[in-house]
Amino acid sequence: MDHILSLLVFFPALAGMLGFIVKKENIKVYGITVATIEFVLSLILWLVFDPSNGGFQFVEFIPLIPNYGINYYLGVDGISLFIIILSTFITLVGLISLNIEKNLKNMIISLLFLEMTMVGVFVALDAVVFYIFWELSLVPMLYIIGYWGGELRVYAAIKFFLYTFFGSLIMLVGMLFLAYLYYLATGTISFAIPDWHRLILPYDYQIWLFLAFFLGMAIKVPMFPFHTWLPYAHGQAPTIGSVILAAVLLKMGTYGFVRFLLPIFPDASVALIAPIAFLSIVMVIYTAMVAYAQEDMKQVIAYSSISHMGVIVLGTFAMNVEGIAGSIFLMISHGIVSGALFMLVGNIYDRRHTKLLSEFGGLASVMPKYATIFGIVLMASVGLPLTIGFVGEFLSLMGIYKISAAYAFLGGTGIILGAAYMLRVYKLAFFGPLTNEKNKNLPDLNWKELTSLVSLVAVIIWLGVNPNPVLKPINASVESMLQLMEKKAITKEAKDIFAHNKVELEAK
C-alpha cells in the first residue's frame, strides 16, 4: 500500500499509452477493463483508509527540485478520498455507456489520460504538482469537446479553455507569492500544501491572496458571473464529456476552496462570507430561473448543475462541520446525480438526435425503464429525503443557517425552483399523449445503458438511506481542519466563529 496513490494516478495514463497498440475492435473492452481496475484500486484505498484519522494518509514524498521546495508529494484524507472514488466510478460507468463510433480509440485514450489528471488533482499535496495536474486536465477535455462535440464545438472548447486557463494563471501568481511569503517567514522555500496550512499570514496578505486563488477556482466551479462558459461546453460536448465535466471537473474548484482557501486564509474566509454568500445565492436562484426557461433538455440540466454548485459553495463557507462536511458530501451527490442526468439526456439524443422538449411527450408509455430511472434521478436532484441529494443539501443549508437564517432561506429556494423546472421537464417529456410519430417505436434502454444507470441509482439510494460510511471520514478531516483554522485565526470575528465551533465539537 506504500505507493497506491501513485498507482491510482499513473495507471490509467500508462494504460492509455498502451491503448495505441490495441486493435480498434478491442479498444472499448480494454478501456472498460482499465477503468474497472482503477475503480477497484480506489475501493481498496477506501477499505484500508482509517476513518477516525483526520490527517493525510498513504503519504508519498520524493524530492523533485528541493532547492526550490518542489516535491512529488501525495496524500489523501477524508476530504479527498470520496472525490477520488467518484472520479474512478464516473469514468467507469461513462465508458460502459459510451456510444460513439467516430475515432473511438482516441476517445478512450483521452478519457484515460483525463482520469489521471483528475485523480492527480485530488491527491497532490504539493502546489506545483497540483497545478500541473489542474492544467493538464484542460487538454483532454479540450480535445473531447473540440473533436466530438456539436456544430459550435470549436467555439465552446476555446471558450472553456480560455476562461479556465486565465483563472489558473492568476491562481499561479498567488501560489508563487505565497511560497515567497513562506520563505520570508521560515527561511526555506516550500510549495507543500500542509506547510502552507501552518503558515500564519497578515490579514491584508490573506485578503489579496484569497482573491487570487478564489478567482481561479471560482471560474472552474463556475460561480456567477464566471459561469457563461459552462452552458456552451455542456451544450456542445458529447455525452461522456458532459458527464465527466459536471460530475468531476467542476468539483476541482470547490475542492480547491476547502483544500486551499479555508485552512490557509481563515481570517479572509470569514471576512468574505457575505459577498461569497451573495454570489452563491444569485447563482442558485438566477440559474434555476434560467433553467426553467430552457426548451433544450440538456441546457436545463446544465443550468441546474450551476444552481446546485451554488449550494455547495454556501455550505463550504459556513465555517462549521455541518456546512463544510455537507458541501463535500454534496460534491459527491452532485457528481452522481448530474452525471446520471446527462447520461439520460444522451440516451434519448442517441435515439432521436434532438434534445428539444417540444419533440417529446408520452415517452413513459414506450420507454418505461427509461422513465422510471429518470424519475428516480430527478427526485434525487430536487433533494427528496432518502436519496443522496437530500443529505448534502440539508447539511449545507443547516451549516449556513448557523451563520445567517436569510442565507439559508434564500439558498433553500433553489430546492423549490429545482422541483419546478425538473418536474416541468418530466411532465413535458414523459406524460401526456404520444403525439410525435417518431417517438412511437423508440427502443427502451439496452443492457449497457441499464448497467451504467442502475449502478448510479444504487448509489443514489444507498447513500441517501445510509450516508454514514462517507460522512464519518469526511467529518474527521473537517474537524481537524477547523481546529487548525481556530489556532491560526487572528481577527476577532474569525476567533469568535471558530471558538463557537470548538464549543459545539466539545459538547458532542
- Burial label for 124, CB within 10 Å (0-12, 13-18, 19+), is buried
Q: Judge whether residue 507 has pLDDT over 70.
A: no
Cell 476555446 -> residue: 158
**Structural domain count of the chain:** 1
Residue 337 lies in a domain: yes
| φ/ψ of residue 135, rounded to 5 | -75, -40
In a domain, 172, yes or no: no
pLDDT at 350: 87
Question: Is residue 498 assigned to a domain?
Answer: no
For the chain, the maximum distance between any two Cα atoms, rounded to a whole number of angstroms, is: 74
Range of the domain at 387: 272-465
**Global pTM?**
0.93
Evaluate if residue 499 carries a pLDDT over 90.
no
Q: Which residue, among 140, 83, 84, 119, has the nearest Cα to 9 in the 3D structure?
A: 119
pLDDT digits (tens, 9 = 90+) for 311-325: 999 999 998 999 999
The cell 467529518 sits on which residue? 475
Q: How far apart are CA 244 and CA 342, in angstroms?
A: 9
Does residue 296 form part of some domain?
yes
Residue range 415-445, pLDDT digits in tens: 889 999 999 999 999 998 888 888 888 898 8
10 Å Cβ neighbour count for 82? Answer: 25
Q: For the stretch 434-446, what's the b/e string if a residue is b when 16 or more beta carbons lie within 10 angstroms of its beta carbon?
A: eeeeebeebeebe
> What is the DSSP secondary structure assignment for residue 61, as one 8-state letter?
E
Q: pLDDT by residue (tens digit) across 155-195?
A: 888 988 888 888 899 999 999 999 999 999 998 999 999 99
Which residue stretches of 355-402 are H helix?
Answer: 368-381, 388-401
Query: Is residue 123 in some structural domain?
Result: no
Q: State the Cα–Cα distance between residues 72 and 227, nearest whole angstrom.
A: 33
**What does the pLDDT average to over 74-98?**
94
Dist. CA 128–CA 183, nearest whole Å: 16
Cβ atoms of 482 and 321 closer than 8 Å: yes
Is pLDDT at 100 greater than 90 in this prediction? no
pLDDT score of 337 more than 70? yes
Q: Please determine, for residue 496, whether its predicted confidence score (pLDDT) is greater than 80.
A: no
DSSP state of 261: I
Cell numbers for 229:
462558459
pLDDT bracket for residue 282 (50, 70, 90): very high
- What is the distance of C-alpha 481 from the center of its chain? 20
Which of 158, 295, 174, 276 lies closest to 224, judged by CA?
276
Cα dihedral sign for 20, 23, 25, 30? negative
Compute the distance between CA of residue 506 and CA of residue 281 in angstroms, rounded to an integer. 32
Q: Report yes or no on 422 lying in a domain.
A: yes
449: in domain:
yes
Asked whether 309 and 334 are in contact (CB, 8 A), the reply is: yes
Domain membership flag for residue 60: no
Q: How far is CA 55 from CA 79, 101, 337, 480, in A?
A: 10, 45, 29, 7
Q: How far from chain centre, in Å, is Cα 77?
A: 17
